[in-house]
Amino acid sequence: MRFRVIIMANRRMLSKSICTSIKLSELKTDQARLLFTWMIPHADDEGRLQGSLKYIKGIVFPMLDHKVSEVETWLSNLSETGLIHWYTVGGGTTLFIEIIDWLKHQTLKSDRVKPSLIPCFNGNGSAWVPKRFQRGDKMESNVIEDKLKEGKINEGKPEPENFVLPPKEDIDESSLPKIKQDIENVTQHLYDLKIFPKVHAFKNKYLKDKNARTVLLALSRCFLKKPEGPWAYCMQILKVEDGNFNEREQVKKSDADKAAPVPEGLKNLIKGIGKEIPK
């Protein structure tokens, strides 16, 4: 089975005119405004990106505890207000997003623009999104198939739509087996997408003497940041965060010990301390 991966830019421009945008002011919630602005860095050079709910939740709000149903409401609001096209192509179920008036707010050098691998919205696609659609569909565009045959798109075992980074709250609270499972998952994605080619060596080395939660946080941030030097980048996070996680775990353990019931025999022993020992 073949999977499609579309790589987006790391940086985009945000004009100060966004503060006086009438369309943005007409949105129903600040969360919808935040979603719109935070989607911008994830769009390709023609302002398009994959549009499944789980994918958008995963790339835009990986560290925030928002529900997929909330993301659906906010995306619908963006579409209704005329900020994005949220559409399917050719009667398929794969969802895409196209940011309207993209080039009015982005200055791109013509020699660096990469043609979008996502089919454009031409008015023939359906702009209506079902409340509960099947996720994980494959890309159906002939453009994408051609690029795959040419070897111009990275292929890996996971598909981005099905991969969601663990929120920071989960990293703090999840059980150790779950943390280790998430580490394996993120590690595989970093390797498959060629973000961190030596990620397996990094993971094996630092899981031995570092807090597993710190390792997961470092790898998750690396996935988001996609730094040029991933090993050094992750090392910086380990140095800063490892002590913090260890300290928090000590506090949790101390609180748990305080909350633990005192055995009856120990209570009697404590009561007897200080009493005169009979002759």
Q: Is the pLDDT of residue 141 over 50?
A: no
pLDDT in tens, 20-69: 888 999 999 999 999 999 999 899 888 999 999 999 999 999 999 899 99
- The pLDDT, as a whole number, for residue 131 is 40
d(CA 153, CA 145): 10
Percent of the chain surpassing pLDDT 70: 68
- The packing angle between helices 176-192 and 212-225, to 10°, is 30
For residue 50, the cross-strand partners are: 96
Domain boundaries, the chain: 16-162, 168-264
Q: Which of 247, 255, 256, 221 is nearest to 235 (CA)?
A: 221
Q: What is d(CA 33, CA 23) in angstroms, rounded to the nearest whole number?
A: 10
Amino acid at 169: E
Spell out the residues 6+ positions from residue 5 whose beta carbon is closer than 8 angstroms to its own.
153, 154, 155, 156, 159, 160, 192, 193
CA 99 to chain centre: 20
